[in-house]
A and B are shown apart, each in its own frame.
Chain A
Amino acid sequence: MSPFDHEPPQWALKFLRFYCKPRALEIIEGDAYELFYKRIENEGLKTARKRFSWDVLKFFRLRYIKGLEDIETLNNIIMVKNYIKISFRSLVKQRFYSLINIGGLAIGLAACLLIAMYVSHELSYDKYHDGADRIYRLNGNSPARLAIQSKTDIPEIEETLRIQGPFDQTFKVGDKVFKETNGFNADSTFHKIFTVDFIEGNPEEALTEPNAMVLSQTLANKLFGYESAVGKTIQVDGENTLVTGVVADPPQNTHWKYNFINSYPKESWVLVGNWTANNFKTYAKIEKGSEPEVVQEKLKELAAEYQGPLIAKYSGHASYEDYLASGGRERNFGMIPMTAIHLEYPDFSFGSGGDINNVYVFSAIAIFILIIACINFMNLSTARSAMRSKEVGMRKVLGSRRRQLINQFLVESMMVSLFSMVLALGLSALLLNGFNLLANRTFNFQDLFDGVVLLQLFGLVLIVGLLAGSYPAFVLSNFKPVKALKGDATQGGKGSAILRKGLVAFQFAISIFLIVSTTVVFQQLKFLSNQKLGFDASQVMVVKNANSLDQKRETFKTRLAQFPSVENVSMSNSYISGGMSDWTYQTMEDNPRSYGFINLFVTDTYLETMGLNLTEGRNFTNQLVTDTANVLINEAAKRWLGGDKVIGQKLTRGDGEDYTVIGVVNDFNFESLKRDVEPMILRMMGKDGRLEEDWYSANYISIRISDNYLETVGRVEDLWKETVSDEPFEYIFLDESFNALYENEQRFGKLFSASSGLAIIIACLGLFALAAFTLERRYKEIAVRKVLGASVKSITLMILKSFTQLVVLGAIVAIPVGYMVMQDWLQEFAYQISLNNPLIWVIPALFVAIIAWLTVSFQSVRTATANPIKALRSE
């Protein structure tokens, strides 16, 4: 059989004929056939066919593909090159406008990039855990037995976990002492709820035994210097604890950031505990496919079963049903999706510092700034391109099609936005540290130059370029060539002038709004810091960890009191601004009422140390043993109790003991001024810090200092080190700690001032360029006015007037909006400034107006003083 009877693969031949240029086709086919026949003889039919296909595929090169020689296509590539070249030239020719355009847009994009990074980070919290959408937190705090009981009683619950913390604990490794923060207690199931990466140790057995702990990698490295930590022993607060695991540091985007996790000391911690004492954070993971609503309903039944009887007993009702019928609050263990904790339940998030409002505010600001920058871009592009109507006319006369003109302008605006993007990347890298301070996060360059964020930015840039370029592109390309050449079209039309002015007014509106917000935030903060707190926070130092003084408490206190600059010393179980717990007390009336009073244990000198006054009754005294059964209340508590005679009135905790009110203290703000003064009960602890038999609770020592602060702090520290050698000395000043409560608000204020600054800068850049442009066009008109006798002053005023109108228009829009938004923000505070102060509104508007005048006046004066001959002679 002759090789010529065979045929090569038809698909390959078809493909070749499909793509190949006709000129080369026959030769290529010929060579391919010739090789094919030869190979049939030498290598067999199969290989020959394979290699024929391969050869044909290899011929698929630019050189042989048909259609590429098509003149139209090549011309397009050349045209694109030409667009880019012309765009570049026109950008360079109008350097000033281009710079302002690119610079303004770059600032806006940089702000957007940073904020986009922040927002996507905030939204990513806790999403990475396996089955994150099935994990719930049951209430903020819950009873010890809830976890195991719910897992037993409710089949839909797959796994539960209890956490307590965060704690600060003292670690002793060898003879080195470390004070470690962010420690937690957790059940051994923690790795089944949270996705945890074990580096050493067995996750299943890590926390099953008492006195075991898991360390984060950073902490393990710090304590054991990069050696294996598992199996080593640490003295934690004096107790020997075995390290049973090392886990990778929890990522940034989880609300539970731990340095170490302790196991629970005793198995009984699961099985005992009061059903109404909420000391644990309970997490539950429900089975795949089960309905959260069903589980929620079952949890409610659980609450009724276990909490119900107790509540009925405490409140003096015959049954839980009676309690509910008389208007009592129904108990339930609310299921909070874990992914919502960070942003929507900041109080439950172990201080991860998230806030959904921050996300909204940041996003709104990003959008505002971007809008301002885009308006500039559009305004300037439109204004500038109107100058180019002659160019457009000429192009049209020479045969340019409308599409090509549109392309030309689009390419130009794309180039501007691409340049801005590059600049924005540099800017945002520079601003990253400042932004971290504002956002209270620790972003690094890797987060900033993350692929997804960059891709989003690129998309944004394309959209901005397209939007900003489309108006001039479509309007200009519509010009009639004759008109355009005659110069009729250079006026740009009344419509576009109104549009431009409207946009500028809108920019001013945003700027004024932001400045008004800044003013209100800072005014409010100033107001809060000037507010009378009801106690004297200055000069009070609080020493922490006083419980570690143990038996030496009294000697420590006595020796402190001997320092000449120490006026007064007292002890308490928590401190003002440090957060206090509420305890429920009940009146001993015929119809008992109960309330969760803020409860504070103090020594007899506390009122003096804090500068509190008694308005009625008497203070505690150590001379009377019975005073442990007596309490002081504040005026808010007196109001709650009602009646004039509160001294001698009795309260009970329902445990058989009762407490007699012996005095009333003036109201003082022991929490941030966001909250009103709540009813409070002060109870006495002995001078040795003892509450009851074996119950010591003097955690903090407050010291009032008269002078020589630094020296006194030094002496207190020396005394501390002398007394307890293995516990670090920690202290705060009360006024500083109180001010730190407004950290979030202060950051808010800074954010607003930074963003309003940015907004003003961008808006002014735009205004400056627009003014220059407008004046250039009115050059001749102004010259004529001058020739006819107008003074420099009147011309300058005329120009300023037209811009002032825009500011006024902006203010009219901004002020009502600002009023509403700020009114809303102030609702958070129990103590607010009044927004009806006209200064808050007039000053920002005036400020913006002055900046606008300064921006415009330089150019207007220059135009007004110019020699009119120069303008008139040019034609």
Chain B
Amino acid sequence: MQRINIGEFEELVLLVVAILHDNAYGISVMEEIERQTHRKINISAVHSALDRLEGKGFLNSSVGGATKARGGRRKRYFKITVAGQKSLDYIKAQRNSLHDQIPKLSLEYVSI
């Protein structure tokens, strides 16, 4: 199986873009991550991750309309591509399969 070239933060961003469906742009992604994971992140990190994911072909982007809330600037909406979805599926499957292999004993042991 070929290795999926994706980092932890990128994976998070990719998931959030998928969740947000057609309202995924820089700030919405950042806020969603902050809301769900309580991580403090900077907008520039999100942008950079989005750009990288686009470069890897996991995201598509299109430019949307300008609003007053943005001082008259347009936003760039991101959409997950088929390749992106496939890699998310693959990562999930792999994680699940690894989780399932943890012996019960050790789980209990850890939970103490």
Contact = CB atoms under 8 A, between A and B. Distances in A.
Contact of A58 (B44, B71, B76): B44
Interface in A21-51: 24, 26-35, 37
A63 B44 CA distance: 11
Nearest to B69: A34
Contacts of B68: 4
B76 A27 contact: yes
B48 A27 contact: no
Contacts of A63: 48, 51
Interface string B4-36: 000000000000000000000111000000000
B47 A29 contact: no
B74 interface: yes
Contacts of A24: 47, 51
Contact of A33 (B44, B63, B71, B76): B71
Nearest to A30: B73
B3 interface: no
A59 interface: yes
Q: Could you say which of A34, A61, A64 has the most chain B C-beta atoms within 10 Å of its C-beta?
A: A34
Nearest to B73: A30
A30 B44 contact: no
Secondary structure call for the A interface:
helix
Nearest to A31: B26
A248 B70 CA distance: 69
Contacts of A35: 27, 43
Q: Could you say which of B25, B27, B43, B75 has the most chain A C-beta atoms within 10 Å of its C-beta?
A: B43
A165 B43 CA distance: 75
B42 A55 contact: yes
A536 B74 CA distance: 107
B44 A59 contact: yes
A177 to B, nearest CB: 69
Secondary structure call for the B interface:
helix
A32 B70 CA distance: 8
A34 B73 CA distance: 9
B63 to A, nearest CB: 8
A27 B42 contact: no
B47 A37 contact: no
Interface in B39-57: 42-45, 47-48, 51
B43 A55 contact: yes
Contacts, number: 58
Contacts of B70: 30-31, 33-34
A256 B44 CA distance: 63
A104 B22 CA distance: 69
Contacts of B69: 33-34, 37
A869 B50 CA distance: 70
Nearest to B68: A4
Contacts of A26: 73-74
A89 to B, nearest CB: 32
Given A55-B42, A58-B42, A31 B75 contact: yes
B44 A55 contact: yes
B65 to A, nearest CB: 11
B71 A28 contact: no
Contacts of A58: 42-45
A61 B71 contact: no
Contacts of B45: 58
A689 to B, nearest CB: 91
A35 B43 CA distance: 9
A30 B75 contact: yes
Interface in B58-82: 63, 66, 68-71, 73-76
A821 B47 CA distance: 74
Contacts of B71: 4, 29-30, 33-34, 37
Given A34-B69, A35-B27, A37-B69, A61 B74 contact: no
A61 B48 contact: yes
A569 B37 CA distance: 100
A28 B63 CA distance: 12
A33 B66 CA distance: 12
Given A27-B73, A27-B74, A32 B43 contact: yes
A29 B73 contact: yes
Given A37-B69, A55-B42, A58-B42, A31 B74 contact: no
A454 to B, nearest CB: 38
A55 B71 CA distance: 16
Nearest to B45: A58
A24 B46 CA distance: 13
A33 B27 CA distance: 11
Contacts of B48: 61, 63
Nearest to A2: B68
B73 A33 contact: yes
B74 A30 contact: yes
A797 B102 CA distance: 85
Contact of B47 (A4, A33, A34, A59): A59
A752 to B, nearest CB: 64
A58 B66 CA distance: 24
Interface in A3-19: 4
Contacts of A61: 44, 48
Nearest to A37: B69
Nearest to B70: A30
A4 B26 CA distance: 20
Contacts of A37: 69, 71
B70 to A, nearest CB: 4
Contacts of B25: 31
B48 to A, nearest CB: 6
A550 B71 CA distance: 106
Contacts of A55: 42-44
Nearest to A56: B44
A38 to B, nearest CB: 8
A34 B70 CA distance: 5
Nearest to A62: B48
A63 B76 CA distance: 17
Q: Could you say which of A31, A33, A54, A55 has the most chain B C-beta atoms within 10 Å of its C-beta?
A: A31
B29 to A, nearest CB: 10
Nearest to A4: B68
Nearest to B46: A31
A561 B71 CA distance: 115
A34 B48 CA distance: 18
A120 B13 CA distance: 59
A354 B69 CA distance: 79
Contacts of A31: 25-27, 43, 47, 70, 75
A27 B44 contact: no
Given A34-B27, A55-B42, A58-B42, A28 B74 contact: no
A30 B63 CA distance: 12
A53 to B, nearest CB: 12
A860 to B, nearest CB: 61
B14 to A, nearest CB: 18
Contacts of A4: 68, 71
Contacts of B47: 24, 27-28, 31, 59, 64
A83 to B, nearest CB: 29
A296 B43 CA distance: 74
A9 to B, nearest CB: 14
A26 B63 CA distance: 10
A61 B76 CA distance: 19
Interface of B: 25-27, 42-45, 47-48, 51, 63, 66, 68-71, 73-76
Q: Which 3 A-B pairs have the closest CB atoms?
A: A30-B73, A33-B71, A58-B44
15 contacts: A4-B71, A26-B74, A27-B74, A28-B47, A29-B73, A30-B71, A31-B43, A34-B27, A34-B69, A34-B70, A54-B42, A55-B43, A58-B45, A59-B44, A61-B44
Given A30-B66, A34-B71, 7 more contacts: A27-B63, A31-B26, A55-B42, A58-B45, A59-B47, A63-B48, A64-B47
